Amino acid sequence: MAHRSRPTICNFPGAGTAIVQQPLPHTFSRIPSLNPHPPRVSPCPPGTGHGGSPARPAGKGRTIQCRPGDACRSGAARSLLSIRNLSKTYPNGVRALRGVSLEIPRGMFGLVGPNGAGKSTLMRTIATLQEADEGAITFGEIDVLRDKEEVRKILGYLPQEFGVYPRISVAAMLDHFAVLKAIGKARERKEVVERLLQVTNLWDVRKRNLSTLSGGQKQRFGIAQALLGDPQLIIVDEPTAGLDPEERLRFLNLLSEIGENVVVILSTHIIDDVSDLCQRMAIISEGEVRLTGDPRTVVDDLKGKIWRKQIDKGELEEYRRDLAVISTRWYGGRLLIHVFSHEPLNQGFEPVDADLKDVYFSTLNLAEAA
């Protein structure tokens, strides 16, 4: 199979995003840096201990080599966004966030939880759109709760509701957003807008009115505007709700590519989106973080502890009383229950290969029972 190129970066908040090439073992098309003047990079020299990762970018057109002892941030697991003890109570008394702490490295981070868990409150606070009562958030060197202007320079935000879609062409609207993002010179703006229309697969509909786009196209437009200005922190809130399977796949492919370069926080209640895409995740309910980790590891931790059985609907209450039933679904006209148990269960139960849904439901179940 012919290998294409994958962009790899050394990310320094505020310094832009630099790209070098590595073999790409899959077939996604490459997302180029959207900055027409990306800073140059070269490999870290021997002795830095950075394993040939790119040197840190030094701004437009300059290159600085990593020095021995430098903290090269190309390491995927290094936390860039740090949220500490964040709390928020709305004036109506709802405690939406209760001491939330999370460490989020570069890559795709999935934030899952039921409706009302506090996901949007957390997203909006990181996006500087609302205040927290307590706590701290830093992105690299930036104090997110204080230096709002600095955050907005490196932020791309796709809210749950993108608002109204006016009777203006896709390209003209994106250009308008580019002006708002202070991408000032007309030629540079045209370049950026055209590249984004191609990256998000909207080139063919660029002359159409926004109001006539399909749900998936509108979502991709949302991502296009969120990518303006080469953001290093991208927040997407429930992006695949309402998309058909094909559009969802296309959208997730796009997100996964973006996630190779920057911090992407994907807030969702669709667990499959997280298992498909994210290197790290957190489960949140009632404003509290219930679990955080690598999706594969948290699934492995459940090995041998999930059991399933088909039962009649009338038996459910009894099973719920005696066992930790974490999920139920209809299957062939009967109920299929999944039960969490450290001990093997007999009486018709069989072991299940746990998946992220089992992790999610058992975590919420435990939280509820506590």
Residues lying near ligand ADP in the complex (CB under 6 A): 90, 92, 94, 96, 113, 115-121
Question: In the bound complex, what is the minimum distance in angstroms from residue 272's beta carbon to ligand ADP?
Answer: 18
Decide whether 76 or 94 has the Cβ nearer to ligand ADP.
94
CB neighbours of 82 closer than 8 A, spacing ≥ 6?
102, 103, 104, 136, 137, 138, 139
Decide whether 116 or 348 has the Cβ nearer to ligand ADP.
116
Assign residue 334 a region (left: φ > 0; alpha: ψ between -120 and 50; beta: otherwise).
beta
143: helix, strand or coil: strand
CA distance 282 to 184: 38
| Residue 273 contacts residue 249 (beta carbons within 8 Å) | no
Q: Edge-to-edge strand order for the sheet containing 263-268?
A: 155-158, 233-237, 263-268, 107-112, 280-285, 288-293
Question: In the bound complex, what is the minimum distance in angstroms from residue 365's beta carbon to ligand ADP?
Answer: 18
Question: In the bound complex, what is the minimum distance in angstroms from residue 223's beta carbon to ligand ADP?
Answer: 19
Decide whether 7 or 118 has the Cβ nearer to ligand ADP.
118
Decide whether 115 or 346 has the Cβ nearer to ligand ADP.
115
Q: Count Cβ atoms below 10 Å from residue 176 Cβ, excluding itself.
A: 14
- Three-point CA angle 218, 222, 225, nearest 5°: 135
Q: What are the Cα distances from residue 345, in Å, to 318, 325, 342?
A: 15, 12, 9
Decide whether 117 or 263 has the Cβ nearer to ligand ADP.
117
**Alpha helices of the chain — where are they, by DSSP H?**
119-126, 148-154, 170-180, 186-199, 215-227, 245-258, 271-277, 295-300, 316-322, 356-369
Decide whether 267 or 275 has the Cβ nearer to ligand ADP.
267
Decide whether 113 or 156 has the Cβ nearer to ligand ADP.
113
Question: In the bound complex, what is the minimum distance in angstroms from residue 266's beta carbon to ligand ADP?
Answer: 13
Question: In the bound complex, what is the minimum distance in angstroms from residue 117's beta carbon to ligand ADP?
Answer: 4
| Residue 256 contacts residue 110 (beta carbons within 8 Å) | no
CA distance 185 to 194: 14
**Alpha helices of 200-340 — where are they, by DSSP H?**
215-227, 245-258, 271-277, 295-300, 316-322
Question: In the bound complex, what is the minimum distance in angstroms from residue 237's beta carbon to ligand ADP?
Answer: 7
Of 223, 263, 211, 265, residue with least CA distance to 247: 223
Question: In the bound complex, what is the minimum distance in angstroms from residue 347's beta carbon to ligand ADP?
Answer: 37
Decide whether 123 or 202 has the Cβ nearer to ligand ADP.
123
Question: In the bound complex, what is the minimum distance in angstroms from residue 152's beta carbon to ligand ADP?
Answer: 21
Of 269, 283, 280, residue with least CA distance to 104: 280
End-to-end CA distance of the chain: 51
Question: In the bound complex, what is the minimum distance in angstroms from residue 241's beta carbon to ligand ADP?
Answer: 11
Decide whether 28 or 90 has the Cβ nearer to ligand ADP.
90
| Residue 359 contacts residue 292 (beta carbons within 8 Å) | no
Helix axes 186-199, 215-227, angle to 10 degrees: 140
Decide whether 77 or 94 has the Cβ nearer to ligand ADP.
94
Question: In the bound complex, what is the minimum distance in angstroms from residue 19's beta carbon to ligand ADP?
Answer: 33
